[in-house]
A and B are shown apart, each in its own frame.
Chain A
Amino acid sequence: MSEQSASAFNTVSVRTLIGVALRLLWRDWRGGELRLLLLAMIMAVTSVSGIALFTDRLERALLQESANMLAADRVLGAREQPPRELLSEAEQRGLSTAEYIAFASMVFSDQGNLLIAAKAVSDAYPLRGDLQVADEAFGVAYVADQGGPARGEVWVESRVLPSLDINIGDTVFLGDSEFTVSRVLVQEPDRQQGGMMENAGPRLLMHMDDVPATNVIQPGSRVTYRYLFAGEQSALEDYTTWVRNQFDGQYRLRDVRDESAEVSEALNRGESFLLLGSLFAVLLAGVAIALTARRYSERHFDYAAILKTLGCTSNQISIIYFCILLAVLLLAVIVGSIAGWGLHMLILNLLQSVIPISLPPASGLPFVVGALTALICLFAFALPPLLALKHTSPLRVLRKDLADAPLSTALPYVFGIAGGLVLVIWYSQDLLITAILVAAVSSVAVALSALSYLLLRSGTAAGMRAGSAWMLAMSAVRRRRRQSVLQVLVFSLTIMSLLTLGLLRTDLIADWQAQLPENTPNHFMMNIRSDQVAGMEDYLRDNDIQSNPFYPMMSAGLLRVNGETAPLPWDNDEEGNNASSSVTERSAESSQDDASDADAAENDGNRSGRVENRQVTYTAQLPPDNELVAGSWWGSDARPGEVSVELDYANRLRLELGDELVFRLGQQEVTVTVTSFRTVRWDNMQPNFFFIFSPGTLDSIGSTYLSTLLLQGEQKVLLNDLLRTYPTIVVLEVDALIEQIQTIIAQVSSAVELIAVLVLIAGALVLLSCVNATLDERFRENAILRTLGAGRKLIMTSLLIEFAFIGLLAGLIATLGAEISVYYLQVEVFQQEFFPHYWVWIVGPLAGTLIIASLGVNATRRVVSTSPLAVLRNLSA
Chain B
Amino acid sequence: MTSMVEARHLCKRVTTSEGELVILSDINLSISAAETVAIVGASGSGKSTLLGLMAGLDSASSGDMLLDGQNLSTMDEEQRARLRGQSVGFVFQSFQLLPSLTALENVMLPIELKNDRNARQKAAQLLQRVGLEARVTHYPNQLSGGEQQRVAIARAFASQAKILFADEPTGNLDTTTGAKVIDLLFSLNKEYGTTLVLVTHDDRLAQRCGRLVRLVAGEITEDVVAGDAVHV
Contact = CB atoms under 8 A, between A and B. Distances in A.
Are both chains from one complex? Answer: yes
Interface of A: 1, 6, 9-10, 12-13, 16, 19-20, 23-24, 27-28, 30-31, 33, 302-303, 305-316, 393-395, 397-400, 873-874, 876-877
A306, A312, A394, A398 interface centre (most CB from chain B within 10 Å): A398
B26 interface: no
Per DSSP, are chain A's interface residues mostly helix, strand or loop, or mixed?
A: helix
A19 B57 contact: no
A131 to B, nearest CB: 68
Contacts of B77: 313-314
B82 A1 contact: yes
Contact of A398 (B51, B98, B113): B51
Contact of B159 (A16, A307, A311, A313): A311
Nearest to A310: B110
Nearest to B53: A395
B48 A9 contact: no
Interface in B37-93: 48, 51-52, 55, 57-58, 70, 77-79, 81-86, 88, 90, 92
Contact of B99 (A20, A305, A877): A877
Interface residues of B, number: 40
Per DSSP, are chain B's interface residues mostly helix, strand or loop, or mixed?
A: helix
B222 to A, nearest CB: 23
A840 B88 CA distance: 63
Contacts, number: 112
A27 B51 contact: no
Given A310-B109, A395-B52, A873 B85 contact: no
10 closest Cβ pairs, A-B complex: A311-B85, A27-B100, A313-B81, A12-B115, A394-B57, A311-B84, A313-B78, A310-B110, A31-B100, A398-B48
A310 B85 contact: yes
Nearest to A391: B77
A394 B88 CA distance: 13
Contact of A393 (B58, B100, B101, B159): B58
Contact of A313 (B57, B82, B98): B82
Nearest to A11: B115
A685 B221 CA distance: 98
A9 B84 CA distance: 12
B52 to A, nearest CB: 5
Interface of B: 48, 51-52, 55, 57-58, 70, 77-79, 81-86, 88, 90, 92, 94-101, 105, 109-110, 112-115, 140-141, 148, 155, 159, 167
Contacts of A302: 96
A28 B81 contact: no
Contacts of B140: 877
Contacts of A308: 57, 81, 84
Contacts of A6: 79, 82
A20 B84 contact: no
A851 B15 CA distance: 45
Contacts of A877: 94-95, 97, 99, 140-141, 148
Contacts of A1: 70, 82-83, 86
A315 B76 CA distance: 13
B78 A314 contact: yes
Contacts of B88: 309, 311
A487 B79 CA distance: 40
Contacts of B81: 308, 311-314, 316, 394
A578 B58 CA distance: 72
